[in-house]
Amino acid sequence: MDPLIQRVPDLRGQLRDQLERRLRSGYYPEDVKLLEHSVAREFSVSRTPAREALAMLAREGLLVREGRGYQRVRFSATDIQHVFEARRRLEPYAVRLVADKASEPELESIQNAFNVLAESVEDGNAYIDALAALRKCLFAPSRNESLIRLIASFEVQVGYIRTKTLKSIELRTQSVQGNSRLVESILARNEVAAERDLLELLNMAEQACMVVLQ
């Protein structure tokens, strides 16, 4: 049994999270076809949670149904542009809310998550995990669950391509510098600067994704 899968009520949720992480990290080949029975066997679970986890990822736009299985969604340059257009409307507004509403403990959590990110810059896989953790606590203080879900859904769609860009130490360095400015602005409760810093990060991420697609 995969040690990351525990026997708890939300088995399909755990399985969905582990599949997403493996898809993002490059654990599976580019042309992987995920079948219900093979996923069930891989994680030593029944076919029901495997089927439900795959369906969840398909609804979120990370997988697409192909015959009896699922394959990774292929994105064009236009697809990437559309995703980032949407993210530029959502995420800067969210960090404005965070700069305004975050409690002191929440600000401390953001700072701690950034510290882990900065310490992980030399290790691509660790950095990717640390960035996901930072973004998770970054938007929570917005107090807007609908907004948080939308941001997460768009991020999932380009997650695999973004992961590929962050294999570059140069781009990880640029990312940590940009996130440093963003966190500093949030901690200072500077809503305008936080919005600007987040836009710069999104523009940088889009450009890097476009390079990967070339």
What CATH number does the domain located at 11-72 have?
A: 1.10.10.10
pLDDT at 3 over 50: no
- Let me know if 14 is exposed, middle or buried by CB neighbors in 10 A (0-12, 13-18, 19+): buried
Q: Which pLDDT score, from 0 to 100, does residue 5 have?
A: 53
Rg of the Cα trace of the chain? 18
What CATH number does the domain located at 77-213 have?
A: 1.20.120.530
Q: Which pLDDT score, from 0 to 100, does residue 134 have?
A: 96
Which pLDDT tens digit goes with each residue over 81-105?
999 999 999 999 999 999 999 999 9
Question: Mean pLDDT, to the nearest integer, of 29-45?
Answer: 93
CA 133 to chain centre: 9
Per-chain mean pLDDT for the chain: 91
Query: Domain limits of the chain?
Result: 11-72, 77-213
